[in-house]
Chain A
Amino acid sequence: MSGARLLGGSGPAATALMAGLAGASALGALALLESGQRGLVLAAVIAVFWLFSWRLTVNLAALEPVGRAGRTVLGILIPLVFGVTLLFLWEFIVRGLAVPSVLLPAPSDIGVRIANSLPILWADFVQTYLKAVVAGYVLGCGSGFLVAVLIDRSPFLKRGLLPIGNLVSALPIVGVAPIMVMWFGFDWPSKAAVVVVMTFFPMLVNTVAGLNAAGAMERDLMRTYGASSSQSLVKLRLPAALPFIFNALKINSTLALIGAIVAEFFGTPIVGMGFRISAEIGRMNTDMVWAEIAVAALAGSLTYGLLSVAERAATFWHPSYRKA
């Protein structure tokens, strides 16, 4: 196979070649930046890097792997390559154009900052995430779920609460943050309270919808078994509601982090992710802000990923997981 065909081709060999070329051009651009080289040469090398890694992504996307493991690996690999490409481009552009780090720090600077301030980041994470978010999330989701199960017995309450719950879900609830800070003080309980209010209604609305999701046929079957309403709740309607409940859990995992961080803008002890962000932005330490955002992003994505795994395990019977 000739080199030209390899460059235009899309097989595994061509893909590996692309990966090598993209990596080499990235290293080349980094070397040029280190030696202080600017201008057209650098721009050309960066353009070549972009071309190669785009081809790499296209090639990877065109692959049709056999087996589930291959598909899973590829499903992670493609976005990863894309993300790493963007990170490199960010680095090249910031350093090539000498963008002041107050405006936009390079990814490498942010990495160094994260490595140097691990204790602070950990303390903030504990304060905001492990205390406020987790407590508020558990309380908010738990009470939303319980209220949904309780009002499920009364069609009258359901008809009254559902439209109001839907309306409240669309409201800018973060706005209650200053009130909660006034009521519960500066420390984490006030943030947890904001999280409770934010997560309650999505959980309520989704659980009520989920409890109605079981089909009429299945309900009739439960009735022919002579199942009591609590038996039919536990054995039929709660399992049928699980996809909806997990949907609410996923939505709430993001909302909870947002609520806790924004609530810290309204008053906080001198620790916490929201406090750090607003304090460091005041001192123009943009790299520290980005470090906190990286931690928040990591925490958010990990929580989301864990919830997806739990959902997969709990709702394995759902049609959306059936093999195509």
Chain B
Amino acid sequence: MTSAPTRIAEPGAGIGSAGPLRRLGRRMVEGRTVPILTVVAAILAIWYLAAIGMNWQTETDKLVRAGEAYGIVDTIAATWSAERPILPAPHQIVAEIWKSTVLVKPTSPRSLLFHAWVTLSSTLLGFVIGTALGVALAVGILHSRTLDRSLMPWIITSQTIPILAIAPMIIVVLNAVGVQGLLPKAIISTYLSFFPVAVGMVKGLRSPDAMLLDLMHTYSASRPQILAKLRWPASMPFLFTSMKVAVAAALVGAIVGELPTGAVAGLGARLLAGSYYGQTIQIWSALVAAAVMAGILVWLVGLGERISLKRMGERS
């Protein structure tokens, strides 16, 4: 950037005279990068300290039994590399994830990718069905006063019911009728994800103000036309916001749905197997995998949001 004399008159001129590097540094401190990194570093530090504290007893016992002389450094090293720690250190979890994703073939049941894919597929199926159902319900509620006043309270009540409690029953019952595999888990994901979409879309479809609706009336637009040309586009921000909640809920549904099936495949099965055999590192790596997956799914929905809103002409 050359400092042409005309630039002085521009707004903000002179402020950025510290040079691009310093400016970047200030932006990171005043923005969110440095604070987030600080908090993450603090969490990691606390984690390592907690790993020392929680694994101390078992590891010192082991070292005493081994009968060799040991110092405090040896003990700390031992607490961070235990076989079945009470709290594994972060690097152990990373190593386990590396081992079970890169070093194992993705089709083998020992691969974390295999389990993640099983969970992901039922999450996505349930999410798609749930979103479609939520949108359909919202359109119905919008157009029928009766549905609005009779069904809407039940949709809200349905979420005060701890629905995950039904998950085992749905799985076992559907299993008894011969429905197996993807669909039962997807049904639980559907139940969890339809609600935010239905509520958000009712709000979104009602969001156009009276002026715009009046304009549509003066065009003598029919109700389907108003829906397609005004209400639907206006509800897009609401749809994407509720889809972010829905996709995270769908993942929870899929994971819990895998618990009662006898721990065959999926991240939930991995959690259950880990808790049966005391494989803490396996539990934690499944948890991290689930967390990463949730992050990616929410990010993808957010990406879709930005792209479609930009194409619809929204300016930020």
Do A265 and B168 form a contact, CB below 8 Å, given A178-B274, A281-B260? yes
**Is A135 an interface position by the 8 A CB rule?**
no
Residue of A nearest to B283 (CB): A178
- Bound form: Cα–Cα A75–B156 in Å: 14
* B residues near A159, Cβ cutoff 8 Å: 31-32, 35-36
**Is B197 an interface position by the 8 A CB rule?**
no
* B residues near A81, Cβ cutoff 8 Å: 150
**Is B280 an interface position by the 8 A CB rule?**
yes
Contact with A along B226-260 (1 / 0, CB 8 A): 00000000000000000011001001100110011
Kindly identify which residue among A61, A175, A265 contacts B149, using a CB–CB cutoff of 8 Å: A61
B150 touches A79 (CB 8 A): yes
* B residues near A172, Cβ cutoff 8 Å: 248, 251-252, 255, 290-291, 294
B290 touches A171 (CB 8 A): yes
- Bound form: Cα–Cα A258–B159 in Å: 11
Kindly identify which residue among A61, A157, A258 contacts B165, using a CB–CB cutoff of 8 Å: A258
Do A57 and B150 form a contact, CB below 8 Å, given A159-B35, A281-B169, A304-B160? yes
Residue of A nearest to B38 (CB): A160
**Is A123 an interface position by the 8 A CB rule?**
no
Kindly identify which residue among B40, B150, B160, B260 contacts A78, using a CB–CB cutoff of 8 Å: B150
Residue of A nearest to B155 (CB): A79
Contact with A along B252-290 (1 / 0, CB 8 A): 100110011000000110011011001010011011001
B145 touches A62 (CB 8 A): yes
Residue of B nearest to A85 (CB): B150
- Bound form: Cα–Cα A75–B312 in Å: 38
Residue of A nearest to B156 (CB): A304
A182 touches B278 (CB 8 A): yes
- Bound form: Cα–Cα A57–B154 in Å: 14
A254 touches B162 (CB 8 A): yes
Chain B nearest Cβ from A281, distance in angstroms = 5
A170 touches B295 (CB 8 A): yes
Contact with A along B134-154 (1 / 0, CB 8 A): 000000000001101111111
**Is A176 an interface position by the 8 A CB rule?**
yes
Chain A nearest Cβ from B245, distance in angstroms = 8
Chain B nearest Cβ from A18, distance in angstroms = 13
Chain B nearest Cβ from A75, distance in angstroms = 8
Interface positions of A from 154 to 185, Cβ below 8 Å from B: 156-161, 163-164, 167, 170-172, 174-179, 181-183
Contact count A vs B, C-beta below 8 Å = 167
Do A261 and B162 form a contact, CB below 8 Å, given A58-B146, A157-B39? yes
Chain A nearest Cβ from B161, distance in angstroms = 4
B164 touches A261 (CB 8 A): yes
Kindly identify which residue among A83, A174, A183, A254 contacts B252, using a CB–CB cutoff of 8 Å: A174
- Bound form: Cα–Cα A60–B163 in Å: 30
B36 touches A182 (CB 8 A): no
Kindly identify which residue among A103, A156, A273 contacts B35, using a CB–CB cutoff of 8 Å: A156
Kindly identify which residue among B86, B165, B244 contacts A277, using a CB–CB cutoff of 8 Å: B165
Residue of A nearest to B157 (CB): A301
Chain A nearest Cβ from B126, distance in angstroms = 13
**Is A274 an interface position by the 8 A CB rule?**
yes
Chain A nearest Cβ from B123, distance in angstroms = 10
* B residues near A293, Cβ cutoff 8 Å: 161, 165-166, 169
**Is B176 an interface position by the 8 A CB rule?**
yes
Residue of A nearest to B292 (CB): A171
Contact with A along B163-183 (1 / 0, CB 8 A): 111101100110011000000
Kindly identify which residue among A58, A75, A82, A296 contacts B161, using a CB–CB cutoff of 8 Å: A296
* B residues near A62, Cβ cutoff 8 Å: 145-146
**Is A23 an interface position by the 8 A CB rule?**
no
- Bound form: Cα–Cα A304–B159 in Å: 10
**Is A267 an interface position by the 8 A CB rule?**
yes
Do A82 and B154 form a contact, CB below 8 Å, given A178-B272, A281-B260? yes
**Is B298 an interface position by the 8 A CB rule?**
yes
- Bound form: Cα–Cα A252–B157 in Å: 15
**Is A266 an interface position by the 8 A CB rule?**
yes
Interface positions of A from 114 to 173, Cβ below 8 Å from B: 156-161, 163-164, 167, 170-172
- Bound form: Cα–Cα A29–B34 in Å: 69
* A residues near B173, Cβ cutoff 8 Å: 102-104, 286
- Bound form: Cα–Cα A159–B33 in Å: 9
* A residues near B169, Cβ cutoff 8 Å: 277, 281, 286, 289-290, 293
Interface positions of A from 181 to 196, Cβ below 8 Å from B: 181-183
* B residues near A254, Cβ cutoff 8 Å: 159-160, 162
Chain B nearest Cβ from A211, distance in angstroms = 17
Kindly identify which residue among B34, B40, B54, B272 contacts A164, using a CB–CB cutoff of 8 Å: B40
**Is A257 an interface position by the 8 A CB rule?**
yes
Query: Which residues on A are within 8 Å of B, measured CB to CB?
Result: 54, 57-58, 60-62, 75, 78-79, 81-83, 102-104, 156-161, 163-164, 167, 170-172, 174-179, 181-183, 253-254, 257-258, 261-262, 265-267, 273-274, 277-278, 281-282, 284, 286, 289-290, 292-293, 296-297, 300-301, 303-304
Query: Which residues on B are within 8 Å of A, measured CB to CB?
Result: 31-32, 34-40, 54, 86, 145-146, 148-154, 157, 159-166, 168-169, 172-173, 176-177, 244-245, 248, 251-252, 255-256, 259-260, 267-268, 271-272, 274-275, 278, 280, 283-284, 286-287, 290-291, 294-295, 298
Q: Please list 5 pairs of residues, one from A and one from B, whose beta carbons are closer than 8 Å in the complex, sorted by A's number.
A: A254-B159, A261-B162, A286-B173, A296-B165, A301-B157
